[in-house]
Amino acid sequence: MKGLEYFVVECTEPIGGETYRQIADDILSDLNLNQSIGRLHIYIDPETPLFLAVGVIKKMPGLVHIRDVASALKTEDKIVLDVGSETYLSPMLAILWDTYGRDLITQPDRFTVEIHVPDLDPRAIEDMVVVDPSEGMFHDIIYALQWIAPEGFKVRRETVGGGLFSYVASENTLEEGVIDALLKEKFALVGVSA
């Protein structure tokens, strides 16, 4: 698969493994995740039945701050945000409303937002985080793995964070110790020691 440093589908049935490799490749490509995931190992055991995937994110997108989309200017009684990009305007307004209240935030036009709070530091406003794109990326990765996993595997366990992710699915409840040992073993294959 293009973009991945390491991509293996391990399956007790070779033909099934190749089919799942193609499914995974298609879904990850369709969702544009093959450029974001660095390493991915999928393990499938149809007899247990078990689907397990572990991976490492290649590069985490950075946080988007207000300073990335607007500049803050202090006036006598308010902060005026000069919005340069409307891409994150909606989440920025939501954060400002949550922080200061709707009644203290006005938007005279689509490129201007005013915060009517005296004695605010414009640099502190610019440092506020608007969006954490990694949250959306992890959501997309788990969504993709749900599509890749065999249908009917309703018992699921997923973990995300720190640039790592795992997804385990089965028809049956599996022992935690067994799953933990398998996760540790498969993470080692992608270069992560637990």
How would you write the pLDDT of the chain (194 residues) with one tens digit per residue? Answer: 567 899 999 999 999 999 999 999 999 999 888 888 999 999 999 998 999 999 999 877 788 999 999 999 999 899 999 999 889 999 999 999 999 999 999 999 999 999 999 889 999 999 999 998 877 788 899 999 999 999 889 899 999 888 899 999 999 888 899 999 999 999 999 999 86
Q: Which residues pair with 161 in a beta bridge?
A: 164
The residues near 140 (Cβ < 8 Å, ≥ 6 apart) are: 31, 33
Residue type, 129: V
Element (H, E) at 67: none
Cis peptide leading into residue 122 (ω within 30°): no
| Residue pointed to by tokens 């390493």 | 39
Q: In this structure, are residues 82 and 73 in contact, taking their beta carbons and an 8 Å threshold?
A: yes
What are the phi and psi torsion angles at 144 (to 5°)?
-60, -45
In this prediction, residue 170 carries a pLDDT of 94
In this prediction, residue 194 carries a pLDDT of 60
In this prediction, residue 116 carries a pLDDT of 96
Sorted by where each begins, the domain ranges of the chain are 6-61+156-189, 64-131
Residue type, 102: R
From the options 2.60.40, 3.30.420, 3.30.1360, 1.10.3470, give the CATH code of 64-131.
Answer: 3.30.1360
Sheet strands side by side (includes 105-109): 70-74, 79-83, 112-115, 105-109
Q: Which two tokens stand for residue 31?
A: 């969702």
In this prediction, residue 36 carries a pLDDT of 87
